[in-house]
Structure 1
């Protein structure tokens, strides 16, 4: 067959990419045609999405892609979950969408618990308790920005919002909606009782669209600007983890996936949600996956700590690369330092060095000295979370996990992969790096009838990209 191309727009924690996925019938090749920064901006004391600049960059990337690709069939957008934009009755964006790393939900979980105890909320949604969840962000809007919420006609999660401006169509994609803690895990539809009990406006939630369906076609003005005619925008796994899992060449149902980047998402793919006392106790989440699957997983604060460490060290001491940090960690004299990456002190920007040092001192580990010992404390904390999560996951799933498929940008850090295998005692298969973009592309290929199912897509991905095995030391 002739080569066909689709455009995957993947918005990560530090950068956005416009990637051409070129498929020849048996293999996929990726061509990153445009990259741009994606960082929150501080506006009026809040961390916000730099939405309009990002939209401009997406349009610019689409225009570049139109000049690079042949037989471009479609477009798909993915990014992280929980965040949203609000439109008024005239479809104007109300304010800047707020970033989940903002502290506006501080104290909000307790207020929601008073109305709807978390145990009941978990039984209905299967979503782990995290202050960043949409349910808490929206309730914060109700408490703090009630006028804005009263004037809201439409809620669109961030991929939905970008897609609205591209197509003029308003939908809520399922995988991203599932991160809100407002979707009923059994019916996989909006839980209107939860919405009503919290006094949130029911009408703002849109029709749910599933991966593989069409959002709409590029608006005429957009089509003219970017040079793409009659191109559909496909609902992919618009939550980037849903796309990443779709793009992970899992061996079988007993293989865990670990999508590692700013966040680490560690879990199993299941056909039905797992909502038990044990899954509640261990705070596992049941997020929507592609192909009507459920992603039973735990969200773990990931390489954010290392990223912030590099940023702060370079700004206050001397410039270091991620490679420098790895080298220093390998050479560290004291290798037993270990933090808890879930501690609130490691969730927000700033003071990462002091946070790591003070944590170790407070927990009677002594004081880490220099870049290497500070870095190894972060690495040890992360892989210790992986080990505990694997143990809990086996208990919740009732079966032994045979291995871990690691994907995402984090697998370029070989120290992380080695420590993961050593800590968990599981074989680690690392690759591909661009799992989110590949899963995004696979859904587009499926929607356009170039492949028959997700498993075929995974086999194509597996043979198209190298994977490296890290054996555990028995």
Structure 2
């Protein structure tokens, strides 16, 4: 490998698929080659929903072998979704499967816990959005249902930390993912002892926290022999996939926001410090760690999950054709609140849930896949615009440009709808922001690019598309009325 060419591997585990990608850095430009894709999703068992983490590991190893065939690899790192965890025993073996965040075991746990731990107290210590599947509520549910299991646990690792442990033998918690658990104090930069104590959770299970870009050592000898990754370093990137995506937002200047658009839609801004205030709590904004000591002030919006589940019910229609058909549906149709909890669980009745919501709020009921898809996308655009206004109100900072990254950045209809609803310019791309952020944090940690030049490298490596807002929309006001009229699910 030439001295000015380096290769890095990103392992990206998403809610519906996983990828192993080889990134080549040359002349301050990054090219990304996905060498292996594999499916992922909920595994239903008699006692609930799980992730098939051992199968994911088998697929990852296959991808690593394929990547290693292309030449020496400088480093490897893992990112994934947040909040879910594995429990390990004294020998470092899995005590149980990795539970899926959509598992119903947490139903009612958040509300119950908030009766004893005030909402204001929990937010003051963690700055995290209240979502029923946060790690803290999963652990409280686990403690109540199987205290013997936690008693036998010697370490808790979030999903990317588990894979880093299998790759390197190091047990750590990378900061960006740790910050999503509602067990982390963003001001102190460590686990929150008061929250753990108030929730009755054992602090000794949580590993030491490390920053994104931390070197965890070489790939274990037996794995190096198996995969061909001899001498490859294991670098913890920004292990929360959204944090990696935000690291690759091709922005400059102070007046931008991002939408990491995929199964979830993460709408936020980057701030130099946590923003923990009564107004941030009022809007249920979350403070998650970013790279270089920044904070990602954002809100989770349900995202394309609703379309994905509808498509599953319709028999796996082609996405491109579905969005093209939706673009032909007349504008200003019915709307839903994407964050209504009825849309959280999986199920092939998702189209019916959308129709029921529209009927219950006195709107016309979409009938065809194109009409339902248009309804969902217009609703996501309105919700995005609403969150952008909340972020402006909380930070006092004007937002003029919205960078849409991730898979959703390919949907021209959605980008146009966001531009119109938010009345802000939308810049779409890169599609592979998560992979690029993962790879570039590794490269920076290895000294292959200068510190602070990640976004400059992204801008030099991709082609972006710009969407200028059209006339002031009428949907926003109707969206607010629909939300106000929403009955309990």
TM bracket, shorter-chain basis: over 0.9
How many angstroms apart in 2 are the aligned matches of 1:110 and 1:28?
A: 46
How many angstroms apart in 2 are the aligned matches of 1:442 and 1:52?
A: 27
Local SS of the residue matching 2:98: coil
| CA displacement 1:411-450 (0-9 Å, x = unmatched) | 1111111101011000000010100110101111111101
How many angstroms apart in 2 are the aligned matches of 1:254 and 1:19?
A: 32
How many angstroms apart in 2 are the aligned matches of 1:243 and 1:371?
A: 33
How many angstroms apart in 2 are the aligned matches of 1:60 and 1:372?
A: 38
Shift of 1:165: 1.1
Partners of 1:253 and 1:269 within 8 A in 2: no
Shift of 1:25: 3.0
2:470 corresponds in structure 1 to 473
2:179 corresponds in structure 1 to 178
Query: What are the equivalent positions in structure 2 for 1:298-447 lying under 5 Å apart?
Result: 298-314=299-315, 320-333=317-330, 335-350=332-347, 351-447=349-445
Change (3 A) 1:378 1:192: same
How many angstroms apart in 1 are the aligned matches of 2:242 and 2:253?
A: 18
Local SS of the residue matching 2:234: strand
Partners of 1:254 and 1:268 within 8 A in 2: no
Query: What are the equivalent positions in structure 2 for 1:70-469 lying under 5 Å apart?
Result: 70-314=71-315, 320-333=317-330, 335-350=332-347, 351-454=349-452, 456-469=453-466
1:63 corresponds in structure 2 to 65
Local SS of the residue matching 2:376: helix
Partners of 2:65 and 2:228 within 8 A in 1: yes
Shift of 1:198: 1.2
List runs of 5+ in structure 1 lacking aligned partners.
none
Q: TM-score, normalised by structure 1?
A: 0.97
Asked if 1:11 corresponds to 2:13, the answer is: yes
The size of the alignment, in residue pairs, is 468
How many angstroms apart in 1 are the aligned matches of 2:428 and 2:73?
A: 30
How many angstroms apart in 2 are the aligned matches of 1:242 and 1:166?
A: 21
Partners of 1:266 and 1:297 within 8 A in 2: yes
Partners of 1:338 and 1:376 within 8 A in 2: no
Local SS of the residue matching 2:57: helix
Q: TM-score, normalised by structure 2?
A: 0.94
How many angstroms apart in 1 are the aligned matches of 2:129 and 2:351?
A: 29
Partners of 1:247 and 1:435 within 8 A in 2: yes
Partners of 2:429 and 2:465 within 8 A in 1: yes
Shift of 1:333: 4.7
List runs of 5+ in structure 2 lacking aligned partners.
472-489
Shift of 1:71: 3.5
How many angstroms apart in 1 are the aligned matches of 2:345 and 2:459?
A: 36
Local SS of the residue matching 1:116: coil
Local SS of the residue matching 1:179: coil
Local SS of the residue matching 1:195: helix
Match of 2:27 among 19, 25, 28: 25
How many angstroms apart in 1 are the aligned matches of 2:116 and 2:88?
A: 27
Local SS of the residue matching 1:114: coil
